[in-house]
Copies of this chain bind each other. A is one copy, B any other.
Amino acid sequence: MNRLAFALAALSLPIPATALAADGPMTLEQGADKVLTHDTIAWDFVEGITTEVGPRQAGTEAEKRGRDWAVAWLRDQGFANVADEPFEMETWVPGDLHKAEILSPFPQPLIVQPLGGTASTGPDGITAEVVYFKTVADLAAAPDGSLAGKIAYISHSMTPTQDGSQYGFAGPARWIGSGIAASKGALATVIKSVGTDYHRNPHTGGAGFPAGVAPTPAGALPLPDAENLERMFERADGQPITMKLTLTPQQLGTTTSGNVVGEIVGRDPSLPPVLVACHIDSWWNGTGAFDDGAGCGIVAAAALHVSHTGQPLRTIRVLMAGAEETGLWGSKAYSAAHIDEPIAVGLESDFGADRIWRFESNFREANPDLHAKLAASVARFGVANSAIVASGGADIDIARDQKTAIIDLQQDGTRYFDLHHTPDDTLEKIDPVQLRQNVAVWTQVVGILANEPGDILPKD
């Protein structure tokens, strides 16, 4: 295939990726250093899947094309034991009609997209008065039944944070907001997008409903539209604000998804492998570049670059999990299928493509020498050591389920929630320089782990 050649042309790099190995034996450190300026593999993955496949909504034919593409790419790159391991899931799709319109007192259209797992208004839409809640707590304090026949609007603004921690503050507006509103009788819910950009980008994402509460229609407004709606409340002098909302998502029932896996086989395949994970699916509204094509490119490129410095002791297994976005289906299925096959350590890349700035493990106390060695090894890339205990990302349930070692290579999330779950999650948002820093750090860390003979998280 010509993909690598195209990537090289796009990046104007003078030498092909294979030259990383062709210069003769390199140390791991030399290899990681070279990656910092020369990697093209991660970009090749994310450019390829976003261009040749595009959006990859979990459980759909588009995700299947994404998995097929990744399987072919892994084989092209020389990975062993490449497979698409199937699992079944309950599949939600967004449907075609996504409209919000203020009917009175200030008629104008707003942009809206549905939240994952929510119900349809039907193609004719619903029309109701909007009730404004500044925070999730305000909504939770509304009397039972008080939202009967109404559309709830939840504001709850988000601030950018380097560590992404405000997702925990603002996320509940989406995670539980429509469920709370439904439990109080609301016909539907619209939220200010859980996001930090001021473009006409709805930020979709999963929404949950309490047991016994039927899902209602629910959608996200872009920040400009949400603030416009809030100004309407300020200017309406108490007149009711009426919205027509049309959202037609569908539950398709059970469909098949899959987890794509591939391996750099180690010198001692009997040792538990190093698991490096990402997810292959994306929301339908973007091309899944930042979330999580980049992550898949990073982990796969790192595994290859480690192999270019010599066959590692342990196998490095790449897991490109299916159906992360709509309920971590792939991560759960992978853990269920492989729970009896111990892994040595799990790492995930799923926070965009900006610079890694902090190293965390869950074995700093149990294996302080290895923790210190790893942290010291990435200091030259600007990555700080941390006492925070790593808990791992969504796609490495198996590491948590096996209570094994976990490392988090924390990426700069300052602009992550500008793009997260939006139409704007497209290739050109990725900074090639920062993407390569990710690959270099991952190469360094995975290379050490894959050549570590002893337990990474020693058993008690």
Using CB atoms and an 8 Å cutoff, list the residues of chain A in contact with chain B: 2-3, 6, 9, 47-48, 50-55, 62, 65, 105-109, 111, 198-201, 223-225, 227-228, 231-232, 234-235, 237, 287, 423-424, 426-429
Contact = CB atoms under 8 A, between A and B. Distances in A.
Contact of A237 (B2, B111, B198): B2
A224 B55 CA distance: 13
B426 A228 contact: yes
A224 B288 CA distance: 13
A378 B198 CA distance: 33
A201 B200 contact: yes
Nearest to A105: B52
Contact of A47 (B106, B225, B231): B231
Contacts of A3: 235
B234 A428 contact: no
Contact of A52 (B62, B198, B235, B423): B235
B51 A428 contact: no
A234 B53 contact: no
A50 to B, nearest CB: 7
B6 A235 contact: yes
A234 B287 CA distance: 18
B199 A199 contact: yes
Nearest to A234: B6
A423 B112 CA distance: 13
Residue with the highest number of chain B CB atoms closer than 10 Å, among A47, A53, A423: A423
Contacts of A287: 108, 228
Given A108-B287, A227-B428, 18 more contacts: A2-B235, A6-B234, A9-B234, A48-B235, A51-B228, A51-B235, A52-B106, A52-B232, A52-B235, A53-B106, A54-B106, A62-B107, A62-B108, A198-B428, A199-B199, A200-B201, A200-B426, A223-B428
A107 B200 contact: no
A107 B63 CA distance: 12
Given A234-B6, A287-B228, A200 B424 contact: yes
Contacts of A50: 228
